[in-house]
Structure formats: structure tokens, C-alpha cells
Amino acid sequence: MVGGECMAVAGDRAVSRQWEHAALAALAGEGARSADTHLLKLDFPGFDGIGFYFKDEAAHPTGSLKHRLARSLYLYALCNGRLHAGQTVVDASSGSTAISEAWFARLLGLPFVAVMPSCTAPRKIREVQALGASCDLVDDVGEVRARALAHAARGACFLDQFGLAERATDWRGNNNIAESVVAQLAQEAAPEPAWIVCGAGTGGTSATIGRYLRYRRLNTRLCVADPVGSGFVLGWRTRDQDARAHTPTVIEGIGRPGVEPGFVFDVVDAVIEVPDAASVAAAWLLEDLFGRRYGGSSGTNLVACLQLAATMRARGQRGSIVSLLCDRGERYDETLFDRRWLSAHAIDLQPWRAILDECIKSGSPPFTGDGAV
């Protein structure tokens, strides 16, 4: 009888391993069908000899850089033996991750619950629902993680983007974002960029890029561009893991209220704080430059790129600066790209637009008196 029980257990294991193999094969197939994202180049009249490159992460099938993270988080859960056939999957998200995770849940035939702040852009909520997932909206942003943990306590697999982003991504390569950028620059005039600029949401992207730059022995420096007074900004300065943001932000995906477990401070060489109005004005400028919309955090990146470029220009340096277009701007049609919404939130784009236009034209810095870079 005892032997029979052992056989039964082994039989169950074989069935679940079979499902794991099928799920991993489905992820591998998705990877094989996907193309890399474009590295788009811009030249500005004010910055002779400085090339600007933007990695178009909005081009992923789920519209943001979170496509990479979602794939990695599912792989990580599967390879750790914590994701099983029929199991509900849950995560806490400001939206972009939820869309990508819901898409992969559908690919794997799993139910998905997205726990999101109720202030999330309505379009993102609809996108998650359109993928067959359900949204659990929480009024208090600080309660989102606790709600996700409550779902996990009832048996759901918690993908935990904020807890696991930094370790789920293979930082040495495997076509991570840093390896892709470095390869795509190979034929350029300045193939080793002076700076790579990204925001910090989970911190996964900055951790992966910072580690990879060292691993490849490049002299490129990493700058995090984040909303003024974010948890990352305040924590980075003093290496304080308990830092709390002193101002909320309307820029989704970055500007976290606290220091997330995935923030690796020591790989970041500089931090530039960008006011929300400047980020949004820059997102509108990106639409004019590229002929399509990108989200607010892409604008944050552009402002920081211009600041770094102005410093390089003032020092007579030439070279390249690389940054990311993080997500599709259509997601913010009813918020950042709606004039009524902006005035209701007391965001005036005009002064910043004038500054950014002048900057592009003449190479002047968006901010004055910046000693950080």
C-alpha cells in the first residue's frame, strides 16, 4: 500500500511536470516569434556631435517594456516550481505590468487578477479586462501589495514584480534590454554611449542595465530619471532603504512612493529629478518628434537626456546618449494627453514646452545649476 501511495504521488508530479514543460515551451515559442525592438535615432540642432537613441519598448506585443519583465516573471515562477496548471495568477501593478502579465496568462491558459490603484489610467484597466483578466481596484495606493498578498494567501501565484524584477531578469544577457542596446549600437559613430537613461519603477531595468555595463567592462554611465522627490531619488542620495517620497506623481510606471526591493543603488551613477509638468511636456514633444504617442515616463527620460547632453556640450564632449520609450502613449489619451484633465490637475505644459524647444534648438540645459552630473 505504501508503495502504491508513492507511485500515486510520483504520477501527480509527472502530470504537473508535463504541464510545466508545455508552459515553458509556450513561452519559448512566444520568444522565438517576437522581434527585437527598434533603436530610434534623433539628432537635435543644438547638440552637434551628440547622438540620441531611443529604444522603442512600446513596440512589444503588449505595448511596454513590461513585456520583457512579464515573460521573465512567468519563467521565474515556473522554474521555481511555484506555478501550476489552472492556478490563478496575481500581481500588484500600476497598469503596464498587469497588461503584459494578463497577456501571458492568456497564452498559458491561466486566470489572472490585477491589483491596481483605482486612479490607474482607465484605458489600461480596459486593456487588462479585454485580455480576459479581472481587475481588483484599490483606493489606497499603499494597500495594493497587501491586497495581492491576500489573493496569494487564497492560493494564487503572486508574480511579485516589485519583489522579484531585479532577480528574475537574466542580467548577463539572454537578449535583455542592455545586451540588445549595446548590440544595436555596434555600427554607430559612438558605439559605447556616454550615458544610458531610464526611470525606476520596479528598479529592474536600471539594475539590469547597470550590471550589464559593468559585466561588459563599458565606461557608459547609468542615469535614473525619476519624478521630483520620488522614493528612489531620496533613497539613492543617502542610501536610505526607508526613504519615502515627499510628493505624489502623475507619471505612471516610475516615481515609486518608497524604495522597492529591486532598487540597486550602487549601479546608478546619477539621478535626475524631473517635475511632472516637464515630463508631460516632453511626452507631447515626443509625439511631434516621432509622429506617435509615448507615455509620461518616456518624457521624463527625454528631459534627463537633454540635461545630460547640455552638460556634455558645455564641456565640449561628443558621444551618444541612449534612453527608452517605455510605453504607448494612447494609454494616456484620457489623462496626460487630455487638456481638460491637465488643467484639472493644475499642470501647465506651456512654460516647459518653451524651455524644451529652446533646449533642442540651442543646446541649453532644461534645468540650471545642476551639479549632480
What are the residues binding ligand PLP (CB under 6 A)?
64-66, 96, 165, 199-206, 253-254, 295, 297, 326-327
**Least Cβ distance, residue 230 to ligand PLP (angstroms):** 11
Q: What are phi and psi of 194, to 5 degrees?
A: -70, -40
> Which residues touch 41 (CB under 8 Å, ≥6 apart)?
51, 52, 53, 54
DSSP states along 204-271:
HHHHHHHHHHHHTT---EEEEEEETT-HHHHHHHHT-TT-B-SS--S-TTS--SB--TT--GGG--EE
**Least Cβ distance, residue 113 to ligand PLP (angstroms):** 19
Instruction: Using the minimum distance from each CB to ligand PLP, give the nearer residue, 220 or 311.
Output: 220
**Least Cβ distance, residue 245 to ligand PLP (angstroms):** 15
**Least Cβ distance, residue 173 to ligand PLP (angstroms):** 17
**Least Cβ distance, residue 318 to ligand PLP (angstroms):** 28
Instruction: Using the minimum distance from each CB to ligand PLP, give the nearer residue, 51 or 210.
Output: 210
Instruction: Using the minimum distance from each CB to ligand PLP, give the nearer residue, 24 or 228.
Output: 228
Q: Which of 199, 202, 128 is nearest to 167 (CA)?
A: 202
User: CA dihedral defined by 123, 102, 329, 228, rounded to 10 degrees?
Assistant: 100
**Least Cβ distance, residue 94 to ligand PLP (angstroms):** 7
Instruction: Using the minimum distance from each CB to ligand PLP, give the nearer residue, 201 or 366.
Output: 201
Instruction: Using the minimum distance from each CB to ligand PLP, give the nearer residue, 299 or 366.
Output: 299
> Which residues touch 132 (CB under 8 Å, ≥6 apart)?
102, 105, 106, 112
Instruction: Using the minimum distance from each CB to ligand PLP, give the nearer residue, 72 or 220.
Output: 72
Instruction: Using the minimum distance from each CB to ligand PLP, give the nearer residue, 235 or 253.
Output: 253
Are 180 and 55 a contacting pair, CB within 8 Å?
yes
Q: Which of 171, 156, 174, 247 is nearest to 203 (CA)?
A: 171
**Least Cβ distance, residue 252 to ligand PLP (angstroms):** 6
| Largest Cα–Cα separation, the chain | 84
User: What is the amino acid identity at position 278?
Assistant: A
User: Residue 360 corresponds to which cell in the numbers above?
Assistant: 533642442
Q: What are phi and psi of 113, to 5 degrees?
A: -120, 125
